[in-house]
């Protein structure tokens, strides 16, 4: 039998051994993977309305699902956008993405996203080929560099209340293919019956002139440059000249002092105009300014022998080759162009989508849904040359020349023949300069 002292000694030795064993085999903490590097993408942006807030909301969701990417929006005034971006891109300090309207200016700097996409051909099928081609340098037929955040579409509005007061049927109630001649005759009857000062007006810009002239078989772009003198151009110019001779259009719009772009929206908002040729961007403004003073609505573009087309416009989100993170930029673009994501952006920002699938389905806009979807339906009617004109590198020159020369015809400074010759001469010069 061991003595109490021996037992105590054994207990002490046991405790020492246990302690030493613990030090020899310490408990290992669970192994944790190092946190992934977070890359920062910069997106240059401008706002027309609330679309910046909507985009930020979508980006927050993207970041939550992609914790390795952070997106910073650099918001600038539209008037400064292209100048700021030009300087940054040329200096090699440009953003990863930018929302632009002058897409031709930056063609040589765009990122080719195709190698980083899961299904590049499937993605490309979502957009009109003319839009994708507007971002490509000459000779490139496959490049994928960006997408339209929204479309605008030119088209007319009518004051429906005046039609009802005059007892004149609205032509588009029974047909979506109504000629300009039919619309103008109806508008003249309405103006006469209601004492409205003006029957019809069109914004003073070549861009608004293009749609009616293309519908009436004008053609502009040729293999060698531009051709101005066509029956469709002449008949459309003559139509607008006749409106002024008859006094059924406001003289201030095309013959006002100061030159430059001029709109007739004030005449329409004030109930002084029956039919107004402008575009989809007026919808939000009309809803606010007109309120419940009278019922108004957009109508399908009037038709000619060659079609019933408006002209597209809008902005595109483009990507830049200078980015350090092309795969992450492409992942962001693929997220933003998912049909449900782009549908939400369009619905909340009140922008017409440029996405082929959404234009077929329509968009559940949060307000002015019926009016905006009239313009959505017009996208499928756009003629190929409507896209070509909008995205041609010399589009701004042609736009300005048509506007200014036709204004001179209307005020008697030029004949139509002289105006056509001057427009043709300026475009020939522009084509020659482009080729130098």
β-pair partners for 43? 73, 97
The terminus-to-terminus CA distance of the chain in angstroms comes to 115
Residue 9: the pLDDT is: 45
Residue 64 has pLDDT above 80, yes or no: yes
pLDDT tens readout for residues 244-261: 999 999 999 999 867 788
Tokens of 411: 């005020």
Span of 151-155, 390-394, 407-411 with lowest mean pLDDT: 390-394
Q: What is the DSSP string of 7-44?
A: HHHHHHHHHHHHHHHHHHSPPPPPP-PPPPPPEEEEEE
Helices marked H in 256-394 — which ranges? 265-269, 283-290, 326-336, 339-349, 356-361, 369-378, 384-391
Residue 20: the pLDDT is: 45
Residue 94: the pLDDT is: 95
d(CA 365, CA 356): 17
- DSSP annotation of 187 reads H
d(CA 7, CA 9): 5
Residue 22: the pLDDT is: 44
d(CA 62, CA 77): 25
How far is C-alpha 325 from the geometric centre of its chain's CA atoms?
26
The two most distant CA atoms of the chain are separated, in Å, by 134
Residue 359: the pLDDT is: 86
pLDDT tens readout for residues 1-16: 445 455 444 444 454 4
Residue 423 has pLDDT above 90, yes or no: yes
pLDDT tens readout for residues 155-177: 999 999 999 999 999 999 999 89
* CB distance 431 to 394 below 8 Å: yes
Residue 296: the pLDDT is: 98
d(CA 319, CA 323): 8
Residue 257: the pLDDT is: 66
* pLDDT mean over 183-202: 98
d(CA 142, CA 279): 31
* Residue 402 pLDDT class (50, 70, 90 cuts): very high
* CB distance 135 to 316 below 8 Å: yes
Residue 208: the pLDDT is: 96
Residue 37: the pLDDT is: 87
**Average pLDDT score over the chain:** 91
HEC-encoded secondary structure of 366-421: CCCHHHHHHHHHHHHHCCHHHHHHHHCCCHHHHHHHHHHHHHHHHCCCCCHHHHHH
Residue 7: the pLDDT is: 44
């Amino acid at each position: 039998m061991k003595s109490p002292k021996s037992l105590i000694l054994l207990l002490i030795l046991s405790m020492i051994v246990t302690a030493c064993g613990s030090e020899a085999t310490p408990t290992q903490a669970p192994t944790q993977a190092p946190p992934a590097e977070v890359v920062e993408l910069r997106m240059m942006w401008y706002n027309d309305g609330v679309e910046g807030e909507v985009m930020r909301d979508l980006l927050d969701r993207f970041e939550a699902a992609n914790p390795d990417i952070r997106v910073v929006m650099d918001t600038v005034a539209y008037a400064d956008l292209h100048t700021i971006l030009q300087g940054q891109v040329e200096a090699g300090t440009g953003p990863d993405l930018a929302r632009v309207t002058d897409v031709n200016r930056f063609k040589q700097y765009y990122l080719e996203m195709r190698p980083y996409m899961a299904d590049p051909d499937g993605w490309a099928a979502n957009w009109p080929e003319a839009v994708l081609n507007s971002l490509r340098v000459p000779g490139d037929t496959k490049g994928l560099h960006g997408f339209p955040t929204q479309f605008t579409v030119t088209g007319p509005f009518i004051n429906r209340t005046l039609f009802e007061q005059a007892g004149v049927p609205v032509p588009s109630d029974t047909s979506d293919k109504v000629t300009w001649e039919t619309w103008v005759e109806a508008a003249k009857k309405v103006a006469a019956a209601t004492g409205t000062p003006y029957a019809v007006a069109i914004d003073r810009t070549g861009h608004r002139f293009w749609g009616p002239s293309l519908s009436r078989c004008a053609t502009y772009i040729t293999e060698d440059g531009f051709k101005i003198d066509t029956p469709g151009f002449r008949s459309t110019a003559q139509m607008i000249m006749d409106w002024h001779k008859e006094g059924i259009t406001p003289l201030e719009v095309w013959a006002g002092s100061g030159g430059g772009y001029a709109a007739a929206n004030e005449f329409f908002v004030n109930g002084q105009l029956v039919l107004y040729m402008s575009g989809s961007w007026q919808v939000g403004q009309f809803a606010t300014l007109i309120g419940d003073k009278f019922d108004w609505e957009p109508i399908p573009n009037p038709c000619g022998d060659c079609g019933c087309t408006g002209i597209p416009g809008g902005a595109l989100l483009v990507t830049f080759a200078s980015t350090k993170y092309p795969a992450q930029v492409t992942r962001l673009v693929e997220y933003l162009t998912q049909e449900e994501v782009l549908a939400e952006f369009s619905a909340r920002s009140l922008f017409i989508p440029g996405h082929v699938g959404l234009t077929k389905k329509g968009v559940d806009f949060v307000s002015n849904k019926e009016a905006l979807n009239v313009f959505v339906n017009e996208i499928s009617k756009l003629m190929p040359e409507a896209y070509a004109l909008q995205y041609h590198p010399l589009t701004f020159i042609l736009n300005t020349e048509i506007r200014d020369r036709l204004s001179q015809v209307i005020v008697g400074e030029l004949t139509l023949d002289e105006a056509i010759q001057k427009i043709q001469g300026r475009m020939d010069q522009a084509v020659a300069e482009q080729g130098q």
